[in-house]
Chains A and B, each alone.
Chain A
Amino acid sequence: MTVKKVFGRPESLCDVPNLYCSGCGHGVAHRLVAEAIDHFGLRDRTVAVAPAGCSVLLYDYFDVDSIESAHGRALAVGTGIKRANPDLFVFTYQGDGDLASIGMCETIHTANRGENLTAIFINNAVYGMTGGQMAPTTLLGQTTTTTPNGRCAEMEGAPMKMAEMMATFDGVVYSERVALYDPRQTIRARKAVFKAFEAQINNEGFGFVEILAACTTNLKMTPERAQQWLVDDLCETFPLGVYKDVMSGAKQESVASRESVGATAGSGSVKHAD
């Protein structure tokens, strides 16, 4: 009897224990990215750019060349790598503080230049590594170590919606928001990462995937409770969906979904992915 292997560790992930907190989204997100690297055969020409944040440790997990960037500067570092050697496949992996707060300027300008890069954006609505402070994506009313009474729009502003914002730049060819809360959504997330990778492989421009994930430790929630929070709270403020797909071969349907998003961005009535 022959046994067919149907599930295993992606080759571009190292065979090491996952030291991220239980319930943390990085483990699954790393895996999805690694699957995409394997699928497209990119391992030998990939450079990963790590942010400041828990995922600075991604070099412990990915079996690809990688570089650490200063807080917020991953996309500038990525731009330098890609411009110096356009044959390399370059992705950044950044959290909400990195990409949407301290690195917002780099994020916007890299997107606007249409750098042929892929940004994987992990939005967990909190600063993880530094101990649970308010992030640019912290929900209104959400308690953090620097918003003890909950985030209040008048004082701290409203959560920043990156997938929507990225869709407004001409240089962005793909922008989607996905979430890691059940197998179905995880498969959608996998597809989104594949799409954004394809954009770079085909030299089409900037691809952006926002992945909603949980930081169980700083939310002070069990993994199960955190998954529910993702569905009930995070997804409500950050609607899932394809916000832009102008890749060649993009289906008519996607373009329509982009147009409907364009007409209603910010109103909350965005077309859901499911």
Chain B
Amino acid sequence: MNTVFTPAAQRNGKLTLVQGNIALAEGALHAGLDCYFGYPITPQNQVPEYLSAKLPERGGAFVQAESELASINMVLGAASTGARAMTSSSGPGISLMQEGISFLAGDELPAVIANVMRCGPGMGGIKPTQGDYYQATRGGGHGDYHTIVLAPASAQEMFDLTYQAFDVADTYCNPVLILADAILGQMKEPAVLEPPYERKAIKKDDWSLTGAAGRKARNIRSMLLAGDDQEQLNYKLEKKYERVKQELPMWECIDTEDADLIVVAFGTSARISSSAARLARAEGLKVGVFRPITLFPFPEEALRDLASKVGKFLVVEMNLGQMLHDVRAIVGHDIPVSFYGRPGGGVPTVREVLENIKESVS
């Protein structure tokens, strides 16, 4: 299954000029967000600011937490009752949340976490980056687990994928990370702020904590001391991740049919790459773009399929090569995969990517 939502301009519905962060918040509201907990950090502050006004109006709960540690654990508490809960942050804040995200994964609780990436390491800066790819796709915290990672590339997708993230989280009882960046968060773009599909009703009353009226008491935990229970939990999670890999991968192919070279990039990098690929085509080079929309699960089969037809790949990222290693592992050693990236807030320019396309294709 590959769901790619229709771009804003081709949709029926009213176009609104909207900042990416606001589109993300609107996506959450349309998904029936019940609770938001967060702590200020640039470049995502518009998310809590907007929700602090809008969420209570709809009867939801907004709390500015004392830290990201508190935010993610408030999310965990709210999620345990069956509520749709989320937080958003960036860089250092997401690092602080990793323990809580590991707990969400171990407890199999659904929640949505948005990371509007800023450059690091350390305090870093507030410029855009994709330097958190490893952290996002490998788990990030302790233990054998995965978060599901959705990577938007437009204001429309900030809305759509956040809307969808709650369904995905509820379906798989797993934390879902929206991996955006400072450009996607700060940029304004026209978008249709109407749900791309009807919200799913997903039952939670067979596990949520509601008070044990008329039933046995429930406990939600990830510390399983008896026998090999902890080992079994990990097998259970692995089985779920396999299901996620079968059912969830999403990607977009741009002009890949006749391509001699395919640029693989996600989020903002994919947009820059698509501009560069367009210029390359104008110069007679057959270049396409493969854009993973889910980073975990990575759309492996789709990429492998392309690799059976296309001879060369170029990976473009706003880091020094993280997704690169996934791409290399998928396409295999026989196919050349080159790389262009800029770290620490550097954003590849269209011209730089074009130069790299020319070098890679020759």
Decide yes or no whether B35 CB sits under 8 A from chain A.
yes
Q: Could you say which of B64-72, B190-198, B275-283 contacts chain A? A: B64-72
- What A residues does B82 contact at CB under 8 A? 84
Decide yes or no whether A64 CB sits under 8 A from chain B.
yes
B82 CB → nearest A CB, Å = 8
- What B residues does A65 contact at CB under 8 A? 209-212, 217-219
Is the pair B81, A81 in contact by a Cβ cutoff of 8 Å? yes
What residue in chain A is nearest B103 (Cβ atoms)? Answer: A70
Distance between Cα atoms of A111 and B83 in the complex (Å): 23
Contact of A73 with B100 at beta-carbon distance under 8 Å, contacts A67-B221, A80-B77 already known: yes
- 7 residue pairs A–B, Cβ–Cβ below 8 Å: A47-B211, A65-B219, A67-B80, A67-B219, A73-B100, A85-B210, A88-B211
Is the pair B77, A68 in contact by a Cβ cutoff of 8 Å? no
Q: How many residue pairs, one in A and one in B, have C-beta atoms under 8 Å apart?
A: 138
Distance between Cα atoms of A65 and B82 in the complex (Å): 13
Contact of A109 with B77 at beta-carbon distance under 8 Å, contacts A59-B221, A65-B212 already known: no
Q: Could you say which of A38-46, A134-142, A188-196, A211-219 contacts chain B? A: A38-46
> Which of B77, B212, B214 makes the CB contact (< 8 A) with A81?
B77
A115 CB → nearest B CB, Å = 9
Size range of the interface on A? Answer: 35 or more
Decide yes or no whether A199 CB sits under 8 A from chain B.
no
Contact of A64 with B61 at beta-carbon distance under 8 Å, contacts A49-B77, A76-B70, A85-B83 already known: no
> Which of A63, A68, A109 makes the CB contact (< 8 A) with B222?
A68
For window 214-228 of chain B, which residues contact chain A by CB distance below 8 Å? 214, 217-223
Is the pair A76, B65 in contact by a Cβ cutoff of 8 Å? yes
Distance between Cα atoms of A49 and B80 in the complex (Å): 11
Is the pair A47, B209 in contact by a Cβ cutoff of 8 Å? yes
For window 91-110 of chain A, which residues contact chain B by CB distance below 8 Å? 105-106, 108-109
Contact of A83 with B219 at beta-carbon distance under 8 Å, contacts A44-B212, A67-B80, A76-B74 already known: no
Is the pair A64, B212 in contact by a Cβ cutoff of 8 Å? yes
For window 39-90 of chain A, which residues contact chain B by CB distance below 8 Å? 43-47, 49-50, 56, 59, 62-70, 72-73, 76-85, 88-89
The dominant DSSP class at the B interface is mixed
Decide yes or no whether B184 CB sits under 8 A from chain A.
no
> Which of B71, B209, B211 makes the CB contact (< 8 A) with A67?
B209
Is the pair B77, A67 in contact by a Cβ cutoff of 8 Å? yes
Chain B CB within 10 A, most for which of A43, A47, A83, A84: A84
- What B residues does A105 contact at CB under 8 A? 66-67, 69-70
A38 CB → nearest B CB, Å = 14
Distance between Cα atoms of A63 and B83 in the complex (Å): 23
Distance between Cα atoms of A78 and B209 in the complex (Å): 12
Distance between Cα atoms of A73 and B69 in the complex (Å): 8
A48 CB → nearest B CB, Å = 9
Decide yes or no whether B63 CB sits under 8 A from chain A.
yes
Given known contacts A46-B211, A88-B211, what 17 new A-B pairs fall within 8 Å (CB)? A45-B211, A45-B213, A47-B211, A62-B217, A66-B209, A67-B220, A68-B220, A69-B103, A70-B103, A73-B69, A73-B70, A76-B65, A80-B74, A84-B61, A84-B78, A85-B81, A109-B65
Contact of A77 with B209 at beta-carbon distance under 8 Å, contacts A65-B217, A66-B219, A70-B99 already known: no
What residue in chain A is nearest B76 (Cβ atoms)? Answer: A77
What residue in chain B is nearest A14 (Cβ atoms)? Answer: B217
- What A residues does B79 contact at CB under 8 A? 80
What residue in chain A is nearest B35 (Cβ atoms)? Answer: A84
Interface positions of B (Cβ within 8 A of A): 34-35, 37, 61, 63, 65-67, 69-71, 73-83, 85, 99-100, 103, 107, 209-214, 217-223
What residue in chain B is nearest A60 (Cβ atoms)? Answer: B219
B81 CB → nearest A CB, Å = 5
Distance between Cα atoms of A77 and B223 in the complex (Å): 16
Distance between Cα atoms of A227 and B285 in the complex (Å): 84
Is the pair A68, B69 in contact by a Cβ cutoff of 8 Å? no
- What B residues does A49 contact at CB under 8 A? 77
What residue in chain B is nearest A45 (Cβ atoms)? Answer: B211
A14 CB → nearest B CB, Å = 8
What residue in chain B is nearest A63 (Cβ atoms)? Answer: B217
> Which of A46, A67, A84, A106 makes the CB contact (< 8 A) with B70?
A106
Mark contacts of A14-47 with chain B using CB atoms, 8 A cut-off: 1 yes-contact digit, 0 otherwise: 0000000000000000000000000000011111
- What A residues does B211 contact at CB under 8 A? 43-47, 64-65, 88-89
- What B residues does A64 contact at CB under 8 A? 211-212, 217
- What B residues does A45 contact at CB under 8 A? 211, 213
Contact of A80 with B37 at beta-carbon distance under 8 Å, contacts A65-B212, A67-B209 already known: yes
A15 CB → nearest B CB, Å = 13
Is the pair A68, B217 in contact by a Cβ cutoff of 8 Å? no
Chain A CB within 10 A, most for which of B77, B78, B83: B77
> Which of B74, B103, B214 makes the CB contact (< 8 A) with A79?
B74
- What B residues does A89 contact at CB under 8 A? 211
What residue in chain B is nearest A56 (Cβ atoms)? Answer: B223
> Which of A68, A79, A109 makes the CB contact (< 8 A) with B221?
A68
Contact of A84 with B212 at beta-carbon distance under 8 Å, contacts A68-B220, A105-B66, A105-B69 already known: no
